[in-house]
Structure 1
Amino acid sequence: MKLNMKKSFNLYNKIAVGIVTLVLFGACNKDFPNLLQNFNEAKDSPEIRDKVLLVIVDGLSGPAVQDIEPANLTTYTRNGLVTYGSLADPTTDFEVTNTSVAATLLTGVNSVKNKVNTDDLSVLNTAEYPTIFSQLKNIGTGRKSTFFTTSDNYANYLGKDAVVAKGADDKTVIASAIKNLSTDSADFNVVHLAQVEQVGRQYGFGKTVPQYVDAVTEVDKQVKELVESIKARQSYSHENWLVVVTSGKGATSTDPVTDFTAFGDAKRDTYTLMYSPKFSRKILPRPSAKDIPFAGNATRYTYASNNQVVSKLDDLNKFNMGAGSDWTITLFLKYNVANGSYVYPSFLSKRAAGFGGVGWNMFLEGGYWGINSSIAGQAFGPNINDGEWHALTTVIKRSGSQDSLYVFTDGTNASVSGKVSQVTVNANNLDNTAPLTIGYLGSDGNTNADISICNVQIYNRAFTFDEVKRYGGVTHIDQTFPFWNDLQGYWPGYDDVNTALLTEKTGRAGNFKIKGPVTWTSFNELVPFFQPPISESFFRQVPNAVDVPFMIYQWLGVTVQSSWNLDGKSWSPNYTQIRN
C-alpha cells in the first residue's frame, strides 16, 4: 500500500512539474516568435531557407551608439552578438572613408587587395575579389541578392549581380526595402543608409550633438521597421534570418589623440550587431592599447665615486652637430628610486665636461631634467622622479626662420614651474672631440644618481610637436618606421642584457661600450604614453569589417574556399539553449 501511494505521489509530482515548466516556458518565450519551432527544426531541412539582411550605416560611431542607447538596437542586443568598438580597418595606413569600408564589407578583403582606400570605386578589384553578390551568383546556388542605396557609385560598382533599387534619400530607400522584404524571395539583402554621415558632417558627431542623436534615433526606428517587415513575411516560419547592422566609417573627431593605434582612430571605431532570435546576448568589448605593457631590459646607470657606469662611442666625430643642422634626440629614462633628487648629474652628452665648453649635456636637477648647450640657454622639462618610465625628447631646429631648441616630456612641452621648454639658439658650432656618452660625465653632478636608460634614438631632422606626440613613445623601431631614413643612431638595449655593449641597429653608427659595474633592470610595466609592439591578433579581438562577409557566407551555408583569399574570420554567437 505504501509503495502504491509513493508511485502515485511521484506521478502527480511529475505532471505538476511539467505543467509549471510549460507555463514558465510559454511566458518567457513571448519575445521570441517562432523560436522553438525554428530552433528544433534541422538546419539543413529543405523547408528552411537561410537569409541575411545587412544594413550599412555611414558615419555610425560605435561609442556614440553605446552612449545614445537607441531603444530598438538595445533591445536586439538581447539576441545578438554586439560590439561598440568594431574596426573598419585594423591598420593606420590610410584615412578610411565610408566607400572604402563598404568595399571591404562587400568583398571580404582589405583595401590592399580590393584597391579602394578613397571614395573612388572605379579601382575596385572585382576580378580577383568579387562582391558577395557576384560570388553568390557565380557559385550557382540559385541565391538572389538585392541592394538598396542612394548612391549611384555604390549601385554601379558594388551592385553588379544584385537587383538594385536606388532611392533619393534614406526614407525612400527604407520604404523600398520594406516593400521588397515583405514579399521578395531574395536571400541576401543589403540596405545602405547615408543620413547619419550627412548630419555628422554638418553638425558634428556624438551624444552631445542633438542633430546626430536624432539621426541615430531615426536609423534605430528604420532598423526596427526592416526587422518587423521580415517577421511579417508569410514564409517567415520557414526562414532562418540573420540581421547585421554595421557602420561604414565611424565618426570624424577633433578630440586630442592619445591612442595612436587603429582603435584610437574615431573613423575606424564602428558599431556591429549580428542579430537572430536564436542568439542570446554576447557583448565584445574593445581592448585597450593602454593595457599592453612595456617590457624588456635597460642599462642601470649609477654614479658612485670611482664606480660609475658609463657608455661611450669610440668614434669621437660621430654626432657632431655643426652650426646649421637639425636634430632630434629621444630616450627613455626612469628614476630607479622614486622621489630621488639629484644635483646636476649628466645622463646623455657630447661634451668634454658638463655645463661648459663646446657641446651639450642633458642632466637631472632635483626631480626634473634639462639640457645645457653652447648654442642656447637652458631648457627644462617637468618632474620625472616618480619611479616611472618617461620619454625625453630634445629637438634642435636651426634650418628655419626661427632657430630654437625644444624639450618634450612624454609628448608634451610642459616644464617645471619657473622654467621654459623652448629657447632661442645662436650660430655657434657644436662640433667637438668628446665622445657621445650615456651616464656619468666627469666634473659635474653628485654621486647618488641611480637611473635606467634605454631606447636611445638620434635623427638628423627636427621633429614637429605633432610628430613628437605621435612617435615619441614608440618603443621598438624598424625599417617600417616613417623616419627610418633619418635615424642616424638607434640603441634600444632591450636585447643587450648581461653584456657590455649597446648594439646599434641602423648600421649608421657604432655600438656603445659600457664600462663600470654594469647591471641591468628588467621591467614589465604599463606606461600611458608608450607604444609597445602590438600583434595583429590584438586587433582581431573584436569584429573587423572583413569579418562580416565571412559570417554572411557561413550563415547562408556557403563554404568559403581558400582560393578566395578572404581576410575575415568567423565569430561564434551565444545560442539560446532550450531543453526538452
Structure 2
Amino acid sequence: MKNIFFSLLVVSLAVTSCTRYDNPQPNFEDYKQGETSDGVKRKVLVIAVDGLVGHEIQKEVPANILAMMAHGKYSFDGLADENTSDPASWATLVTGVAVNRHHIITDSYIPSPDPEHPHDDTGFSPSFFYLINEQNKRMSTAAITHDRNLSFVLLMDAKEGLVVDTDESARDKAIEKIEEETSDVILVQFTSVLEAGKASSFSYDNPMYKAAVEKVDGFIGELKHSIESRPTYNQEEWLIVVASTHGGVGNSYGGSSEIERNTFLLYYNRYFVQQELKAQPIYAPRFFGFNETDLNPTDAMRARNATAPAGEADYNIAKTGELTIEAKVKMNKNASGNYNYSWPPFLSKVSARSGTTAGWSFFRSGSGVNFYVADGATKIEISGAGVGDNEIWSQVTGVFSVVDGQPTAKIYVNGNVAGVGSANLNLANITSSSPLTFGFQREVFSSDYLDFYMADIRIWDVALNDKEVSDNVKYGVGVPEDHPKITHLVGYWPLDDGDQVFKNKIAGKPDIPVVGAAVYRMFGNNMPSVDPRKSALLKSQDLPTVLLYWLELSVNEDWKLEGNNFLRHFEIEFLK
C-alpha cells in the first residue's frame, strides 16, 4: 500500500515542482555508522507529543518525564515554528527547516506553491529518515503515526510506516518495534494531549488536559522500560527524545504567539548529566538588500525615519563631543556561502559613508566591521575583525571622545578593543541631518549588500570606558536599571518588538519605523562570552541535526539545516 501511495505522491509533486532534494554525500568511517568505536550500537527513539505546552508541564512534571530529566538535556522554553499548524509544525520538526523553506502548510503534507509566485519551484524538504537512509541503508527505521498523509508523504522514507487510531495502539506498536532486535530509529506520535487541549484548553488548569499529559507520561515510561529490557541493551546507547510539536492558547493553535510556539523538549541518555537548557533569548529582525527607491520594498529591509526628528540630534557627536554606539549582530552567509561582504554600511548617522562625509557609520569589511567618523574634511576609520561569523552573535561598540586633546575613535568587538584611531577632527562639524539608519545605507561601492540580524542597539551621550564596554557585553541582552551611566543612555532599541516600528525605550526619544517588512527570528545568546553549554535555545529544527550526529552520520552544508547540534558541547558525558 505504501508503494502505491508513494506513486501517487510522485505524480502530485510533479504538478507543483520539478525538484525533490539533493542526494547527500555519504560519510565513510572506519567503523560501522551508528556504531561507536568500541562497538556499542547507537539507537534512537523519538516520542512526539502533539500540543504539549512547555510552560504547562513545568508546573507539575509527571513522574516518568521527571525521572528522565535526571539524565537529560531539556527545556520548558522550546520553540516551535512560527506557523504552529499541525502540518507545518511536524514538517519543521522532521526536516530541520522552517515553514518558509519546506512550504508544508496543508494536511496533504505536500509543499504549497507561493501564492505570489505560483510557478516557482517549491522543492521538497526531506525528513531525517531520508538523510539517514542515504548514508546507511542498513538502518532499520519506523514511523508510527495517526495520520496517513503524515506517514506516507512527509515520513515516506521511513522503511516502515504504521498508522494507528489511538495512543494506546501507538504505544503497543512502538513496544513491538522496540522489541525487534534490529530496530535502530523509531518515531512514535501521541495525540491525546492535543485532543484534550482542543476539547477544553491547553492548560493544567483544565483537568482533562492534565490527565492526558499524565496518561502519555505513563506510555513514555512503558517505552523506556521496553528499551531497558532489550537483551542487547548493555551493548547499545539509546537517545530518547520527547518533543512536543507545538503549544496552544485557550483551545486553539496555529498562530505565531509565544504560547502557541512554546514546547517541551527532552533529550535523554543514561549517561547524560541533568541540565536545563535555558539560553538568554535574542529576538531579532533580519536586515537585507538595498532599495532606496521604493517606499515599501519587498527586496530589502531597513529602518529609519523619512526625515530626522528633533530627538535624533542627540545621536550626533557634535552634541556632547562624545558618543558610544553598541549593537549585537549576526551575519548571514552571502551568495558564495561565506560571511564576507564588501563595505555595506549597516548602522549609521551619515548621508553617505563616502570620502569624509560628516557623521558616523559602521560597515562590513570582509569578515570584520569598520567604524567611520568624519567631520566633512577629515575622517577616522578603524577596523575590528571576526564579527558575527559562523552563526555566532557578536557585540560591536564604537566609542568617540577626545583623548589628551586628540579626537579619538575606538572600536570594540565583544568588549575587547580591536582598533584605535585619531585625527584632527572639528567636533562641531561631526553632525548629520540624515536620519539614524538601521540597515542598508549609502555608500556600498559594490553590489555586495549585507544580509544580517541585529538587536540591542544602544547609544550613550558619553564615552564609556574599557571596563564599562566589557561589562555591557557580560550583561547580555538589555541594560541593568542600576547601570552606572544609565542617565547617559539616550537611545535604546531592543529590536524585539515583533512589529514594524522599533520602539525607543528611552522616554521622549524617537522610534525608528521599518522600511520594507520586518521578519523576526528567535536565537539563543551564543556570544563568545557565554558558556556554549548555556547558549542553546532548543527548537524544533534541532532534531534532525542532533539525530544525525548521534548516529555518527554527516550533515552536508548544502542541506542548509537550521538546527543546532548542542549535544557536541556535552561529549565528555557520553563518549567513553
In the superposition, the TM-score normalised over structure 2's length comes to: 0.50
Counterparts of 1:182-221 in structure 2 under 5 Å? 182-221=179-218
Offset at residue 139 of structure 1 (A): 2.1
SS of residue paired to 1:245: strand
Q: Equivalent residue for 2:65?
A: 73
Offset at residue 237 of structure 1 (A): 1.4
Offset at residue 565 of structure 1 (A): 1.8
Counterparts of 1:171-570 in structure 2 under 5 Å? 171-253=168-250, 265-285=258-278, 287=280, 493=312, 496-499=315-318, 501=433, 503=435, 522=490, 536-538=523-525, 541-570=536-565
Equivalent residues of 1:68, 1:213 under 8 A apart: no
- Change in Cα spacing, 1:148 to 1:533, as seen in structure 2 (3 Å) is closer
- Change in Cα spacing, 1:485 to 1:542, as seen in structure 2 (3 Å) is closer
Offset at residue 283 of structure 1 (A): 0.5
Instruction: Decide which structure has the larger Cα Rg and report it.
Output: 1
1:216, 1:579 → 2: CA distance? 33
Offset at residue 45 of structure 1 (A): 3.9
- Change in Cα spacing, 1:550 to 1:290, as seen in structure 2 (3 Å) is closer
Q: Equivalent residue for 2:53?
A: 61
Offset at residue 247 of structure 1 (A): 0.7
1:348-405, CA deviations, whole angstroms, 9 ceiling, x for partnerless residues? xxxxxxxxxxxxxxxxxxxxxxxxxxxxxxxxxxxxxxxxxxxxxxxxxxxxxxxxxx
Q: What is the identity, as a one-letter code, of the residue corresponding to 2:44?
A: V
- Change in Cα spacing, 1:267 to 1:543, as seen in structure 2 (3 Å) is same
- Change in Cα spacing, 1:492 to 1:109, as seen in structure 2 (3 Å) is farther
- Change in Cα spacing, 1:179 to 1:290, as seen in structure 2 (3 Å) is closer
- Change in Cα spacing, 1:576 to 1:278, as seen in structure 2 (3 Å) is farther
Q: 2:140 aligns with which of 121, 127, 144?
A: 144
Gaps of 5+ in 2: 1-33, 113-120, 285-295, 320-432, 439-486, 500-518, 528-535
Identity, % of aligned positions: 23
- Change in Cα spacing, 1:290 to 1:48, as seen in structure 2 (3 Å) is closer
Q: What is the identity, as a one-letter code, of the residue corresponding to 1:202?
A: A
Offset at residue 205 of structure 1 (A): 1.1
1:96 aligns with 2:84: yes
Q: Equivalent residue for 2:398?
A: none
1:395-430, CA deviations, whole angstroms, 9 ceiling, x for partnerless residues? xxxxxxxxxxxxxxxxxxxxxxxxxxxxxxxxxxxx
1:154-176, CA deviations, whole angstroms, 9 ceiling, x for partnerless residues? 11212212201111111111111
Equivalent residues of 2:129, 2:155 under 8 A apart: yes
1:488, 1:64 → 2: CA distance? 47
- Change in Cα spacing, 1:492 to 1:156, as seen in structure 2 (3 Å) is farther
Equivalent residues of 2:44, 2:240 under 8 A apart: yes
2:544, 2:244 → 1: CA distance? 14
2:137, 2:179 → 1: CA distance? 22
Offset at residue 290 of structure 1 (A): 10
Offset at residue 528 of structure 1 (A): 11
2:283, 2:565 → 1: CA distance? 27
2:307, 2:574 → 1: CA distance? 66
Q: Equivalent residue for 2:414?
A: none
Equivalent residues of 2:200, 2:206 under 8 A apart: yes
SS of residue paired to 2:183: coil
1:528, 1:485 → 2: CA distance? 16
Offset at residue 140 of structure 1 (A): 3.6
Q: What is the identity, as a one-letter code, of the residue corresponding to 2:239?
A: L
- Change in Cα spacing, 1:579 to 1:289, as seen in structure 2 (3 Å) is closer
- Change in Cα spacing, 1:494 to 1:81, as seen in structure 2 (3 Å) is farther
Q: How many residues get paired?
A: 333
Offset at residue 233 of structure 1 (A): 0.8
Q: What is the identity, as a one-letter code, of the residue corresponding to 1:186?
A: S
Offset at residue 206 of structure 1 (A): 1.5
Offset at residue 525 of structure 1 (A): 9.3
2:231, 2:317 → 1: CA distance? 75
Gaps of 5+ in 1: 1-41, 256-261, 292-476, 507-518
1:134-189, CA deviations, whole angstroms, 9 ceiling, x for partnerless residues? 22222244112100011112112122122011111111111111122112412111
1:228-250, CA deviations, whole angstroms, 9 ceiling, x for partnerless residues? 11111111111110000011111
Equivalent residues of 1:83, 1:273 under 8 A apart: yes
- Change in Cα spacing, 1:254 to 1:165, as seen in structure 2 (3 Å) is closer
Q: What is the identity, as a one-letter code, of the residue corresponding to 1:245?
A: V
Equivalent residues of 1:86, 1:286 under 8 A apart: no
Q: Superposition RMSD on alpha carbons, in Å? A: 4.3
Q: Equivalent residue for 1:166?
A: 163
Equivalent residues of 1:83, 1:286 under 8 A apart: no
Equivalent residues of 1:61, 1:266 under 8 A apart: yes
2:168, 2:111 → 1: CA distance? 30
Equivalent residues of 1:245, 1:274 under 8 A apart: yes
1:494, 1:76 → 2: CA distance? 57
Q: Equivalent residue for 2:410?
A: none
Offset at residue 100 of structure 1 (A): 1.1
Q: 2:40 aligns with which of 48, 59, 69?
A: 48
Offset at residue 527 of structure 1 (A): 12
1:479-513, CA deviations, whole angstroms, 9 ceiling, x for partnerless residues? 8999999989878728832357462769xxxxxxx
Q: What is the identity, as a one-letter code, of the residue corresponding to 2:161?
A: V
Equivalent residues of 2:306, 2:435 under 8 A apart: no
